[in-house]
Amino acid sequence: MIAPFTARLPMQLHLSTWPEVETYLARSKAILIPIGSTEQHGPNGLLGTDALCPEIIARRVGDEAGILVGPTFNVGQAQHHMSFPGTITLRPSTMIASMVDWAQSLARHGFERIYWLNGHGGNIATITAAFSEIYHGVSFDRSGANHPPLRCSLRNWWEVPGVTQYLFPDHIKSAELDPSIAPSGRFYDAVDYRRRFPDGRIGSDPSQASIEAGEKIVTMAVKGVIAEFKQFAAS
Ligand SMILES: [Zn+2]
């Protein structure tokens, strides 16, 4: 038997057409953007970990709750990881400018609530500065109050290696970890970081990660994000 045709909208922006986005905007003005980093994650962590974690959660959030998910902003503040091959970073000014352009593009189409689901602690200060830049744009505009309100929200999704192991079990890497729990402390530039943390880890023990733990964490995170997003969208 042929499966019945269902007119279900894809919940990812890059898999949607413009008429589908127009249809979505008629019922919601809120969108979720995963935001992360492409950076070293120690000898057995994937470079995409900080972008993949929020993306994995966001996709499920989209499917379970009919929330539109934008493309992942997958390069962030990673200068201190630049002594490790594969890391890509943006200057704070570049990241702020890009986030402003993303937000203004979405606002131009009628989006009024942008929920940024962040996967990298190093991004927080710059994301907050970008929000300020976005609001400056609105406040400086003389038409001011005649504009629909544009609001941004930041929710951090902290590094949970088990989450990526859950989604890409074929890509689990193993490495001899010595010491098993990495040292912690302050750091400055990329050379300083590598000198203090030779295998890339700070205070973490990735051997505690597992597929089961990752699945549980994703399920919990999806529930929490859906509830928070709905509140934000209605605010
Ligand atoms: Zn990170």
Question: How close is the Cα of 150 to the center of ligand 1, in Å?
Answer: 28
For residue 226, the CA-to-ligand 1 centroid distance in Å is 23
Q: What is the pTM of this model?
A: 0.87
What lies within 8 Å, CB to CB, of 15 at 6+ separation is none
Which tokens belong to 201? Answer: 């880890």
| 119 Cα to the center of ligand 1, angstroms | 7
Question: How many CB atoms within 10 Å of residue 136?
Answer: 11
Residue 1 above 50 pLDDT? Answer: no
Helices (H), 9-152: 18-27, 49-65, 92-109, 124-140
Q: How many Å lie between the centroid of ligand 1 and the Cα of residue 186?
A: 15
Residue 77 CA, ligand 1 centroid: distance in Å: 8
The rounded Å distance from CA 134 to ligand 1 centre is 24
Distance of CA 50 from the midpoint of ligand 1 (Å)? 6
The band of 9, judged by pLDDT with boundaries at 50, 70 and 90, is low
Residue whose pair of structure tokens reads 């200060």 in the numeric block:
125
CA of 138 to the centre of ligand 1 (A): 31
* Nearest in space to 183 (alpha carbons), one of 195, 165, 172: 195
Assess contact for 46 and 171: CB atoms under 8 A.
Answer: yes
Q: How many Å apart are CA 235 and CA 232, to the nearest integer?
A: 5
Using the predicted structure, report yes or no on whether residue 100 has a pLDDT greater than 80. Answer: yes
The residue among 84, 82, 86, 80 whose CA lies nearest residue 123 is 80
Q: Distance from the CA of 132 to the center of ligand 1, in angstroms?
A: 23
Gap from CA of 39 to ligand 1 centroid (Å): 7
Residue 102 scores a pLDDT above 70: yes
CA distance 128 to 133: 9
Q: Give the tens place of pLDDT for each residue, 166-206.
A: 556 677 777 888 877 777 778 888 988 999 999 998 878 78
